[in-house]
Each structure stands twice: as C-alpha cells, then as structure tokens.
Structure 1
C-alpha cells in the first residue's frame, strides 16, 4: 500500500525550534534510530514507527554509521523504508548521520581521520540510497588526530554537497569551543552539538550550553530518558525483557539503585498530568538553548506517548525547584 503522509502533519502540535543562529528549524522531538532499527527488529515495525513519526510532524531522523545490529543495518533499513515511503518527501526531511566509532577493520575504520570520516560518509550515503544528508556529525573527538583534520573533513563534506550542515557529538565544552573556532575560520560554521543530557545527567549545564549559545550552535540531546531510567519501566522491578536486563548500555544494578529517585520524580510528573517519560522530555526542552530531544521507540504507541510531551504544561518554579533538589547533585554526571 502506497504511503501518503498525513495532510495535517504541520497543523497539529509539533513545535519547530531554530538551531542556534542558523536558518534551520528542527522538531522539538526528533526520532533516533540507535537501538530499534537494525536487523534484529522486524522492518515492518520500524517502517510503522517512521511513518507515524512523520505523520506527527517529526521531520528529523537521526542515524549513525554504527547504529543497528549489525553495524550499518539501521542505515540500510532506513534506506529501504525511505525508498518505499519517503522519497517524495525528501525536501521535508532532515536526515542526519555520524562517523567516529569503529566500523571496519584496520587503522582507518574509526575515530576522526580525514580518510575515515569521508569514507564513512560515502558508505552511509550508499546504505541509505541518498545523494546527501542534511547533517553530518563527528560522533566523538579523536584524542590523536588534530581537530583541524577532523573539522577539515566536515568542511569538505559540506562543500562537496554530500552534507548540508556539519555537527559534532560528545565533545566537551572546551573541545566544542575549539572545533567551532576552526569551522568558522574554514567558512562552514558548526550547526549543532549532540550531547547526552537528562534530569540525572546534567553535565552540559557545566559550561557546554554557554559555549553553544556563544557560538550560535543548536543542541539536540540524546538519552533524555537515561536509557529508560526516567520511565515507568523500572518503578517496581527490572523486567526480564528490559534494556537493563539485556543491554550493555544499562545495568540492572543501576536501574535498581535509581528506583527511589525515579519514584520521587514520577510523583511530580503525576501532579503535572504527565508520565515520567513525558516530564523528562519536557524538562530537557525547558531551556531554550536545547533545540530538540532525541527519542527512541520500539513501538508506535511508545512513539506517540513520548511525542505527547510537547502538550505538557509549562513548569512552575516550585516544580523546577523540586526537580533540582532531587537531581542537582547529578549535574556533573556523564552517563
């Protein structure tokens, strides 16, 4: 059956925020394809999630070369869905990908060399069947390659037409300032930074957000639900099929250790008429310097529930004070 996007996708509730001082706007909620779009998941489920996301006004799909099981499968599966459903809507979509983590054997298969970064972009475009991506990121800083080389590769990607904008991810405040300076000098300003951020991982408040504001860069945060800790998933126990029980990214011990904190935050969310996950997303968006939050979704229902965070009420000073009292000590965390 031919997919036709919902005619009301821009008439409902999804806000669009400008990325720093650029001309680009992103939806307040973006869809990340990190965990749920590889070959270990049914592609028709992934297709349903992507279609529903676009119908809700989610115009930004975020990928990386190493997303999916095995690596590269998320891009390949996205490319298959794109060809079937989204090709007519290409100019309405923001599609991003990244290079930085290990992808192939040998000394040129990861980090930030010009050789790796540009080869990775070519491979990503081939997997997705695209002529260009809208945003291309350096996924992590390389401690051994000069920033001038990595940033030069991003500049080349934009100038060659294979990417419209350049971004960085997982860079510290100091590294971000350095990268932004180099890119300004090259004539291709950085569009955006993608750091981890949540109510229990507030490290970007320690200087990064200030650097981004000064540089005119946007901020799109990943893991705003702290790998599921800021949901109702672990309020009672650790389900056997949960990420904490099956994934290397979150331990059962961590989920159990944060249960009391999550329960306290859940009470605040209930008073706002939101789920804990919805409040966590709304909270991350409370700062105008945060352009968008990246959510993952394993089902259409989960996508719809999380996207509804944009309908939540504004935070009162008392609510923010309560959250700060509970999570303030976690401001320097980097989980």
Structure 2
C-alpha cells in the first residue's frame, strides 16, 4: 500500500524563520548520522522518516560520510524519498555536508574547492536529487583559505546544486570570517550548526550565538541531548544497547561520570515537575529565547521522535526554573 502522509502533519509543529532569510525550519529536525546506514534495518529507518514527516518534521539532515559505509545514509534516504516522498519534494528541506574524510587520497577531506564540489556531486547521486536545500562545510579547515572554501559554496549555489549554504562546528572567530567571505560573494550564510546542549554551552560562552543573531544567521543545534546523556537512558546504569554501551567511539563509558549522572538526575526531577521527560526539557531549553532555529535530534525508533516532538507542547520556562537549571549545571 502506498504511503499517504497525514493530512494534519503541519498542525502541531512550530516553524521558525532561519535568520533573516525567507526559509523556515521545523523547531525539531531529524538528523541521520546514526541508525540510517546499511547496518540498520531499512524498514525501521523508513518508518522513522514517515513518522517524522507525519509530525511536521520537514528537515532531514545528512553528511556525505553518514552511515556505514560512508554515504549509505544518503543512499537510504534517497530510497525512502523515491518510495514515499517523491511527490512531496517541495515540502522537504534536505541538507548535507562535506568536510571530514570521505574517500582515499588527498582530495577527499577538508575544505578545498575540488573536494566540496566533487562531494556534493556524489551526494546528489546517492540521494537521487537535482539539488539539496542546504549544503554545509562540515568543519573549519585551517589549511585552506576561507575564501576558497566559501567560494566553493557560492559556486554550488550559482550552479543550482544547493539553494542555501551553511557552516558547522566553526567557533565565533571562524564563523565571522566565513560569514564575511560569503557576504562579499553575494551568497549569504544561511545557518550554522554547532554542538549545543545543557552540558555543552560553548556557543553561549564564546559569543557564537550572539554573533549569529547580530549577523542574521540561523542556527541548528546538534547533540542537543548530549548524545543521549540528557535522556532517561543513563540515570541508573549504562544499557548494553546504548551508544555508550555498544562500543561507540563518540560516547565512551568513562565520559559518564558520577558528576554527570548526579546533574542529569536533578534535571530529570525538574523535568518531571514540568510534566516533561528529561529529553523534552533539554530540547525546550535549547530552543528557549528564540536564538536557536531548530534542534537536531537523532532516533533509533519511532517512539523517540514522537517524544521529542512533544517537547514543543511546553517551551516556556519560569525565571526560577532557568535559575535552578543554571545552579544544577554549575561545575562542582
């Protein structure tokens, strides 16, 4: 039976304008770093994308090397779009990135024009699309002039292969240089994708969020749940099927310290008083104050997407709640 999206898919979602642009993103976006590659059950990935779209999530975020092997997340989303969402392409915002190692040799990494142009051509083939909506440089490259890297992004917009461009993991100083370079070229920086959560407040501390607001650039926070630390998953122990318990190199058991567990337990109690899960409160916190355009979440099952979107039912915080959160998060 052909998939028919919910007729009420836009009713419960909040859409935020991206900086000074005309584009809007859902307050919750779906990231496809984990659980969408060839090592996972395709039908589960397909059901998660369907669920997300039915809940009003129109933005799906990728990178050239997502999935195992690298590129398989793009291929699988391409299959899902062809099977279920081809007629809804104009309702979707598809983003991808390049900047980490993708293929052997000197031209498959970092920030050269050769790499960025070739990588997007490959991504479009894997996705089965004529263009992506947003193309990011995935990380700063100190060995390539910022003018070359941003010039490649500008070129790809002019070629019609990307509608908008952005940057990811740049600090405030690096971001200012990239934004200025793109402005000179006439292709504004649409959006920045930094790591940002209750447990990683670097974008606040180094002035990045203030810079983006001042420059009219949107922001989408990755790791808003701190790779699962800001969920109920690790409140008691490390589950064997969790990211930390399965040998994942990005979250190791030794990172889950007694201090972290103590903080997350206190935060969980506060979330319960708000009639939210810890994950829902953490997402609401990232979105507070309208400085962050969207929170980028991952998922391994449909129920997690449903829980995350339900965070939008309560985005407001009292001054006392915010004060208590700051006190809980203070270093010991």
* TM-score, L = length of structure 1: 0.97
Matching residue of 2:79: 80
> Is residue 221 of structure 2 the alignment partner of residue 221 of structure 1?
yes
Alignment of 1:317-328 (within 5 A): 317-328=319-330
Q: What's the CA shift for 1:10?
A: 1.3
Deviations 1:1-41 (A, max 9, x none): 21111111112x11000001110000000000011100110
Check conservation: 2:134, 2:163, Cα contact below 8 A.
Answer: yes
**Residues 1:313 and 1:167: Cα distance change in structure 2 (over 3 Å):** closer
Does structure 2 conserve the Cα–Cα contact (< 8 Å) formed by 1:28 and 1:291?
yes
Q: Answer yes or no: is 1:59 the counterpart of 2:58.
A: yes
CA distance in 1, matches of 2:51, 2:192: 26
- Contact 2:285–2:315, Cα closer than 8 Å, also in 1: no
> How far apart are residue 328 of structure 1 and its match?
4.3
Specify the alignment match of 2:159 in structure 1. 160
CA distance in 1, matches of 2:71, 2:330: 37
Contact 1:39 1:74 in 2 (8 A): yes
Partners of 1:242 and 1:38 lie apart in 2 by: 17
Q: What residue in structure 1 maps to residue 38 of structure 2?
A: 39
Structure 2 counterpart of 1:92: 91
Measured in 1, the distance between the counterparts of 2:154 and 2:331 equals: 39
CA contact (8 A) 1:62 1:95 kept: yes
- Do structure 1's residue 284 and structure 2's residue 286 form an aligned pair? yes
Q: How many residues align?
A: 329
2:4 equivalent in structure 1 = 4
In structure 1, the partner of 2:113 is 114
On the 8 A contact 1:20/1:289 being kept in 2, the answer is: no
Aligned 8 A contact 1:272 1:313 in 2 = no
Counterparts of 1:329 and 1:63 in 2: how far apart (Å)? 34
- Shifted more, 180-189 versus 243-252: the winner is 243-252
Decide which of 311, 314, 328 is 1:312's aligned counterpart. Answer: 314
Structure 2 stretches of 5 or more lacking a match? none
Q: 1:72, 1:307 → 2: CA distance?
A: 27
Tell me, in whole angstroms, the C-alpha distance in 2 between the residues paired with 1:177 and 1:214.
11
* Deviation (angstroms), 1:256: 3.8
Which residue number corresponds to residue 251 of structure 2? 250
TM-score by length of 2: 0.98
Residue 176 of structure 2 is aligned to residue 177 of structure 1: yes
The answer to whether the aligner puts 1:135 opposite 2:134 as a matched pair is: yes
**SS in structure 2 at match of 1:121:** helix
Measured in 2, the distance between the counterparts of 1:161 and 1:10 equals 28
Task: Give the superposed CA RMSD.
Answer: 1.0
Gaps of 5+ in 1: 331-335
Partner of 1:287: helix, strand, or coil? helix
Superposition misfits of 4+ residues, deviation over 4 angstroms: none
